[in-house]
Amino acid sequence: MTFTETKLKGCFILEPKIIKDERGYFMESFNEKTFQEGIGQKVTFVQDNQSFSTRGVLRGLHYQSGEHAQAKLVRVLQGEVLDVAVDLRPNSETYGQYEAVLLSSENQKQFFVPRGFAHGFLVLSETATFFYKCDNFYNKESEGGLIYNDETVNINWDFPVKDLIISEKDQVLPNLQNAKKVW
């Protein structure tokens, strides 16, 4: 597995070694030892989540704060998404900046998003099955979010706004200036 750190310190793109033959392919999608060596820290995942969505669905940008903050290792099992992480760490040199990664069942890339980031994704294919590991359990009282079209962050979703499908909850998330502090 290849680990590439992004411009956002602590965020990594993971590319597995895929062994293909006439039967199909084989890959190791997760190995705790390899993963921890690759990102240079110990992360223990405690919860797996999966969602299914259709083209144009934008989920996010979400995070949990305080002692319930979550790191996530995300991947796409079927389809294609634009996956986005926004740095909300107040003392970070890249505070308010984002990283966008194309994840698909074709490229088999994964994206590690550490604690202190808002996270979301946009489905680009007709349907997508999205899978992620979390290093902390969900806690409703600690959840927060950042509006997908925040002018300060200025994410390039490269998708027609009129075709986006966004939950009512996600349509009223605050901008960066008013978002709950992650730490």
What is the tens place of the pLDDT at every residue in 58-69?
999 999 999 999
- Note the pLDDT tens digit of each residue in 119-134: 999 999 999 999 999 9
How confident is the model over 142-174, as pLDDT tens digits? 999 999 999 999 999 999 999 999 999 999 999
Q: Alpha-carbon distance 151 to 134, whole Å?
A: 28
Report the C-alpha gap between 17 and 174 in whole angstroms: 40
Residues 6+ apart with CB under 8 A from 143: 62, 63, 64, 65
Question: Rounded to whole angstroms, how far apart are CA atoms 60 and 58?
Answer: 6
Q: Is residue 5 over pLDDT 80?
A: yes
Q: How does pLDDT run across 78-96, given as a tens digit for each residue?
A: 999 999 999 999 899 999 9
* 183 — pLDDT class (breaks 50, 70, 90): low
pLDDT of residue 178: 84
The predicted pLDDT at position 179 comes to 79
Given a contact cutoff of 8 angstroms between Cβ atoms, the answer to whether 118 and 91 are in contact is no
Mean pLDDT of 34-61: 97
> In the predicted model, is pLDDT for residue 72 greater than 90?
yes
Beta-carbon neighbour count of residue 34 at 10 Å? 14
DSSP codes of every residue in 27-82: E----HHHHHHHHTS-----EEEEEEEETTBEEEEEEE-GGG---EEEEEEESEEE
Active site (catalytic) residues: 62, 132
